[in-house]
Amino acid sequence: MGDAQLIVTHFCIPEHVMCVAALGEGFINKTFLVKTSARQQYILQCKNRSVFPNIPAMMENISKVTHHILSEGGNTFRLVAAKDGKWYHKDTDGEYWACFTYIPDTYTFEHAVDIDLVRAGGQGVGLFNSQMAGFTGFLEDTLPGFHNISYRFEQFAGSLKRAQSRSSDANESNGISHLEEVSLLVEEVYSRKEQMEAFWELVRSGTLPRRVSHNDTKLSNFLFDKDRQVVCAIDLDTVMQTTVLFDFGDAIRSYANPFPEDHPLLQEVKMDLERFSAFSQGYLCKAAWFLNKEEKTHLAFSALYITYEQYLRFLMDYMDGDTYYRTRYPGHNLVRARSQLALLKSMEAQLPAMQHVLSEIFNTL
């Protein structure tokens, strides 16, 4: 990776650059704060090529989304062009860099520590979806197969076949094989396969309309002011046109679970209905106006779909020997998978209650 102090000179920053300092410990991108001689500061970011295979298309997507939000009078960051006119600079090592304005007097939160912050997070997701509801342009599909459960099933079948081959070849003489260890979890995957494929068909067929979705709606991807009011969405690397229900569902998976996604005490893992209600109130006060009948009908189930997909992916990575997700200890992905399954079962048990909550909210809007 190139020197950030040198890389920044390739962008059209009008102010004199004073210093460039590392910012945070991003899991995917390397991020730097660019301080200038004026009040305006900038963010410089080295994008991860192994995660994002088509960074030029990704940057074009981000440009279209931010331009649309600004044209509608909304708040967002502004991309800074490189001196060759592109929205990125490619260094001599083949790494891609992007630069954009830093939004002052804003804050992020890692976790929704109280109900008010859960509700504010819902407003953040709803605001972004609402701002993009009138977008009529085209965004590139920069992550093919993203949230496509049919594609995930193909991947899972491959992982299962490889695990079976390893188990047979090695005869697992030194203990229980990964395959034997997860046999019941594999059954849980296939027992829901038909139901999940039916939901995906609603997306594939266009029954659930294609809209701009953020696709990474964790709380830390939204900026708030000092009063904890949402300002805008950030980290737009994953913006694509799918269904906004993926944004809602992924947020519920995160916000409505009082514990981290790798919580080992499965009896404590649950979908908290109060948190679900608070997030839904925040989301729908911003987004209810554009949702059609099909979207409203399937809003609650989207949380089950996304949680199921994440369960499948953690289990698949465990069977593959932990090749995708970063782990902190042996068996971490297995703990994650079991925790997500516990969350999914809690959602399944409460699905009628979730649907009732949404119906009550819609009736008040």
User: Which residue ranges form the domains of the chain, and what is each CATH number?
Assistant: 4-101 (3.30.200.20), 115-364 (3.90.1200.10)
pLDDT reading at 46 higher than 70: yes
Element (H or E) spanning 22, and its range?
strand 17-22
Segment 170-182 mean pLDDT: 62
| pLDDT value of position 173 | 46
**Cα–Cα dist 355/247, whole Å:** 17
At 233 the three-state DSSP class reads strand
| pLDDT value of position 171 | 54
**What are the C-alpha distances in Å from 281 to residues 109, 114, 122, 275, 290?**
19, 15, 7, 10, 15
Higher pLDDT, 165 or 235: 235
Segment 248-275 mean pLDDT: 96
User: CB-side exposure of 185: number of CA atoms within 13 Å?
Assistant: 27
pLDDT reading at 174 higher than 70: no
pLDDT band at residue 81, thresholds of 50, 70 and 90? very high
Higher pLDDT, 59 or 324: 59
pLDDT reading at 345 higher than 60: yes
Segment 177-199 mean pLDDT: 92
- Written as one letter, the residue type at 90 is K
Contact, 21 vs 33, CB < 8 A? yes
| pLDDT value of position 169 | 62
Higher pLDDT, 50 or 253: 253
| pLDDT value of position 299 | 99
| pLDDT value of position 26 | 60
pLDDT band at residue 196, thresholds of 50, 70 and 90? very high
pLDDT reading at 187 higher than 90: yes
| pLDDT value of position 175 | 45
| pLDDT, tens digit (0-9, with 9 covering 90-100), for 315-334 | 999 999 998 888 999 999 99
pTM of the prediction? 0.93
pLDDT reading at 158 higher than 80: yes
